[in-house]
Chain A
């Protein structure tokens, strides 16, 4: 079966080739249905911790909501720099930090500031396709670097080096990965850093899930390695670790001249981040970090439930080592992932995203989030099982 199957409605088929639009088409379709369990979008169902909300409300009531410099409030930038020095080992100071309107904008700004027409950007496959637009808009050329389930979607330095050409300008790493939930381990990052230095590559690393890594695995920042700070742009955000997606507040650590260039782009693209969100971010990064560990415990328990369900469905998967997703191999059903997603939505009332939304060739994979309570995840599994049995080839 393929996306040409007439059972798939036109609004899905029409955007099947555009991963981002495909995801949004499915979400729109889900909105029109009753009693949907949404395991699609990466929006934590958990609420922003009270001390962060309280800090924002205090700022509102005190009138501390006027415009800030485009790079963000100095206090927040300094706090982020201190946090990334302590937690990530990055040798940075306030001048190396800017606040962005979420993590996705950080990537957009970095690409706009660094990539010129014809520059190649090496991107692990599968990929978070929302980044495609930024690369295309700068005239950049995406070059895929393969990863695979057997290696838990870890990234190999040899694969990176094999993709390098004279036009290569940057390597984009997302660790933990969206969509695969794999991480790039420290040993691999050390080898990749050698490749980056050898070929004079800029490394843009999205670490938005860096605080959501499951035992025994550890997050590691490539920018902390010798010789890498000068060529690494580290992207992060409060969205996932602190359940703050709606605040649209992220941050970037990079060489000061890159930060300056990105700020000039931001000045004419979105302007400063909403001030109330910056106060919330300041409370998040300077306040007690218990919430991060508490949320990780919640996700760890959910992950176990979801993996158990996938086992019952007969789905294989690479070990999800971090992040909020499971990247499941649905090839045992014999159904194209786009069609399977549609069937699960229409007949099972469960929204999941097809692998094709994260790279053209991933027609045998689904991305499933763990962003619902355990009972709901169990219910989702029970809804999916009969649909799979009904259609399994």
Chain B
């Protein structure tokens, strides 16, 4: 087959001409189903046996969203309504939806740490990434791996300047009870992202939770993939409830 001659416009060149930006492999990433606990296997197979093969609720099965809200409350002492939780196709989809719905084209994402996970999404959103404060920053991307002092200083700026904040827990190497949404003045502008990609690699299961933009973000996810794979959600729920 010949190639499409018309695939030569700027965006296509930008996308096709760049190297892909695969997430850096996590040293803790497991190989997939070979290590799956038996109860997760049984939960997935049971879900299939009872016909969980249809679209789920667009934001995800209610049980899983409730678990995410409970988990955030127990682990970080922050309050997120299950209605503000959307189950996504891995944290990749959550990051992309946040970039495209929280960052206007031409503005800047402030990323004081590793930017490899957001570079491609920011590029598609038409946003720049900076590691220091710029005038047109509209979103602060933080992970637990950023130094606490740096995070606190930038969160003060976020509060002053009404930036959105994405706090990405997925693949974090650092475990900490700190969370930006613990600051009540910031909570409505904080989106938490996490996934089960380390535990259930290949099942494509993540989530985004919180913020006054939760429903807009949900609509953004729906526009791309409608809902997340049903059997993955049931497998993930079992993992979350029994092993997380």
A225 contacts the other chain (Cβ, under 8 Å)? no
Tell me, in angstroms, the Cα distance from A179 to B6 when the chains sit together. Answer: 30
Interface string of B21-57 (1 = CB under 8 A from A): 1100000000111111000010011001101111110
| CB–CB A256/B3 < 8 A | yes
Closest Cβ of chain B to A113, distance in Å, is 6
The 8 Å CB contact of B18, one of A117, A264, A277, is A264
Chain B residues positioned under 8 Å from A44 (CB to CB) = 54
Residues of B within 8 A of A96 (CB): 1
Q: Does A36 contact B (CB under 8 A)?
A: no
A267 near B22 with CB under 8 A, answer yes
Q: How far is the CB of A135 from chain B (nearest CB, A)?
A: 11
Q: B14 CB to closest chain A CB, in angstroms?
A: 9
Cβ-based interface call for A62 (8 A)? yes
Asked if residues B16 and A268 are in contact (CB atoms below 8 Å), the reply is no
Residues of B within 8 A of A246 (CB): 52-56, 227, 229-231
Interface digits, A112-148 against B, CB 8 Å rule (1 contact, 0 not)?
1111110100000000001001100110000000000
For residues 218 through 275 of chain A, which have their beta carbon under 8 Å from a beta carbon of chain B?
Answer: 229-231, 243-248, 254-258, 260-261, 263-265, 267-275
Q: How far is the CB of A122 from chain B (nearest CB, A)?
A: 14
In the bound complex, how far is the Cα of B52 from the Cα of A269, in angstroms? 25
Given contacts A116-B10, A255-B2, contact A57 B45 (CB under 8 A): yes
Category for how many chain B residues contact A: 35 or more
Contact of B225 with A by CB under 8 A: yes
Chain B residues, CB < 8 A from A48? 51, 53
Chain A residues whose C-beta falls within 8 Å of the C-beta of B201 in the assembled complex:
65-67
- Chain A residues whose C-beta falls within 8 Å of the C-beta of B194 in the assembled complex: none
B222 at the interface (CB under 8 A from A): yes
B231 near A116 (CB under 8 angstroms)?
no
Encode B58-80 as 1/0 by CB contact (under 8 A) with A.
10000000000000000000000
Expressed in whole angstroms, the Cα–Cα distance for A70 and B16 within the complex equals: 15
Binding site for B on A (CB under 8 A): 20-21, 24, 41, 43-44, 47-48, 53, 56-57, 59-68, 70, 91-93, 96, 101-102, 104-105, 108, 112-117, 119, 130, 133-134, 137-138, 169, 200, 202, 229-231, 243-248, 254-258, 260-261, 263-265, 267-277
Given A113-B11, A256-B1, list of 15 further CB < 8 A pairs?
A60-B44, A61-B41, A61-B45, A62-B33, A63-B35, A130-B222, A246-B53, A261-B16, A263-B20, A268-B21, A268-B92, A269-B121, A271-B90, A275-B33, A275-B202
B interface residues with partner A (beta carbon < 8 Å): 1-7, 9-12, 15-16, 18, 20-22, 31-36, 41, 44-45, 48-49, 51-56, 58, 89-90, 92-93, 96, 100, 119-121, 123-124, 200-204, 219-220, 222-232, 235
